[in-house]
Chain A
Amino acid sequence: MLIVLLISSVAVFYAIRLSGGDATAAALPGSATEEFREEFRARIGLDKPIYLQYFAYMGKILKGDPGHSITNNASLVEMLKEHGKNSLVLGGAAFALVFLIGVPLGVLASLRRNSWADHGIMSFSIAGMAIPNFWLALLAIWLFASTFRILPAAGCCSGKQLILPAIVLAFEGIALTVRMTRSAMIENQNNDFVRTLRAGGLSEWRVMGKHVLRNAMIPIISLAGLRIGQIVGYALIVEQIFSWPGIGQALVTAVLRRDYPVAQFFSLVLVVLVVLGNWLADTGYTLANPRLRRSR
């Protein structure tokens, strides 16, 4: 995992540096002289070879001092705290929705297989996977904010303002979780142990709701980490559309303004989150499945 983190941090660093654009153009007024620009580059270390810049940069980050924005001189640590908190609220809400909505719908579909409820849920799930995120966001705004005027279209950070972006952000995850839950439930309903439990006199509710569901949750829990990665990725778009001042929005703004310290630092944060999610996926699989835990 550390190696993955190292490689991805290098990749992010290079990508931002190579993406072109003159940092001084963003930070200094157009009237600044060429000498002044050179001096500015030297001051922030842009004149050195890129690998030295990388080491210097990582050194600073590990010391807990990622630097400042070059457009408004805000401390990156402060920015991370503020935007991070907002993103955490939105991402956390979306993550919770993925499971709170996805799992029960999937269970329902599996228990009422081939009924209208099942067909309805599955069509909804296919739609959820097919509709692009930004389009869904615009649709939601148009429907709930413009037409019915029951929810605010944008802004932060009241509960009402949270609803639309959280649902949009969670939508694809919900759709995937519904499908996975349904197929895992159906697969496990055919297991021999189900017959044993019924022979033991347990109610269908217990057999399905406790034993089959618990077995079906193994792949779902283990892939929960991947859902984190997905949410992090989509947060870029969704935060932008709903003007939710999170990390994603800060990152997009920074890239547009060529504020490379902000862009670099926040990209790194997102990459770490995604890698962490994948690592959690592995851990989750072991946690969810006793057969993989070390036996005493």
Chain B
Amino acid sequence: MKEEIQDNLIQIHDLRISIYSEGSYFDVVKGLSLSVCSNEILCLVGESGCGKSITALSVMGLLPTDVAQVTNGEILFRGQDLLKLSASDMRRLRSDEISMIFQDPITSLDPVFTIGSLLTEIIRVHRNVGSSEAENMAVDALEAAQLPNARQRLKSYPHELSGGMRQRVMIALATALNPAVLIADEPTTALDVTVQAQILERLRERQREQKMGMLLITHDLAVVAEVADRVAVMYAGEIVEEASVQTLFDKPQHPYTQGLLGAIPDITARRGSLHAIPGRVPPPQVPPPGCEFAPRCVHALEECWESRPLLEGSGEGKLRCFNPQPLIT
């Protein structure tokens, strides 16, 4: 029973998100389902614009409501539907239970406050502690994120820190209150290559220390290979394949996944960014009647053009495809 509760920190069922843009509505997330368990890293990969960030923001309840709206589905956190929570209940969960780290650490910190005052403000919104106690917690969080001279840094303004240091501050902000879930949306993309590895390493250690369930959005297959426990592959607003990292790299079944991996059998040679697949993502304004990937798929059958495949499979692996291909090696 305990296992069961732990296993499902976040469960997204049939999530649909509509965007209002240039006078019309269209779905950018189309019936997405996935779950994040405690003490695991789920990597969400997929081409630019497939809806990864929008999905992450909807979990945080931070969709830009003037353009994007959840139209269907549920997002359960420990069995409780986040979409039904009041604004203030949702606010209480943010950063206390569910945290998020954003892509660009340069613009993601308020420039006119010191990092100490940012950290203590967020801590004190959630915890009934005095200012010196909050300050100690802030120092602990910064040290855990391995920011050098943490205590002196409390008085620094964001512009006085390098990009890597700022992302450590973001990690400290997101993990200061020991959240159960951490969402990281391309946390290293904006950083120097040398710093990327350190930040990622620290994030992974933090996740293991706090036994967090982590949803890591990335473009970088090297990152996936290094840190992921499970991988969900997203295409045009839906999950097309989901599997453990080993299975996915060894036996990718969906033609899209195979395309992403470049169909190279050697896992160590698959470092670097996603392989480019010929063709483009269909514009979300006019979804095809059949499989979203059919227009670009070399294995597409007649039925792929006519009806949509469902996401089928067990907890071990899931697939949305009528004609999965065994990998020819």
Residues of A within 8 A of B (CB): 191-193, 195-203, 206, 211, 214-215, 218, 289-291, 295
Contacts and interface: CB of A to CB of B under 8 A. Distances in A.
Given A191-B107, A196-B102, A196-B170, A201 B112 contact: no
A211 B113 contact: yes
B157 A200 contact: no
A206 B94 CA distance: 15
24 contacts: A192-B102, A193-B107, A193-B108, A193-B111, A196-B102, A196-B108, A196-B110, A196-B173, A198-B60, A199-B60, A199-B62, A200-B122, A201-B92, A201-B93, A201-B126, A202-B121, A202-B122, A203-B88, A211-B112, A214-B112, A215-B110, A215-B111, A291-B159, A295-B160
Interface of B: 60, 62, 88, 91-96, 99-100, 102, 104, 107-113, 118, 121-122, 125-126, 157, 159-160, 170, 173-174
A267 to B, nearest CB: 39
B122 A195 contact: no
A198, A200, A203, A289, most chain B CB atoms within 10 A: A200
6 closest A-B pairs (Cβ-Cβ)? Answer: A201-B94, A200-B122, A192-B107, A193-B110, A199-B100, A200-B95
Contacts of B100: 199
Given A191-B107, A195-B62, A218 B112 contact: yes
B165 to A, nearest CB: 13
Nearest to B107: A192
Contacts of A215: 110-112
Nearest to A194: B110
A290 B102 contact: no
A201 B110 contact: no
Contacts of B173: 196, 200
Nearest to A193: B110
Contacts of B96: 201
A43 to B, nearest CB: 60
Nearest to B62: A198
Given A195-B62, A291-B157, A201 B111 contact: no
Given A199-B62, A206-B121, 5 more contacts: A193-B109, A196-B110, A199-B102, A291-B111, A291-B157
Contacts of A203: 88, 91, 125
A5 B104 CA distance: 46
A197 B112 contact: no
A295 B121 CA distance: 23
A20 B191 CA distance: 69
A197 B122 CA distance: 8
A100 to B, nearest CB: 22
Contacts of B94: 198-201
A214 B108 contact: no
A218 B113 CA distance: 13
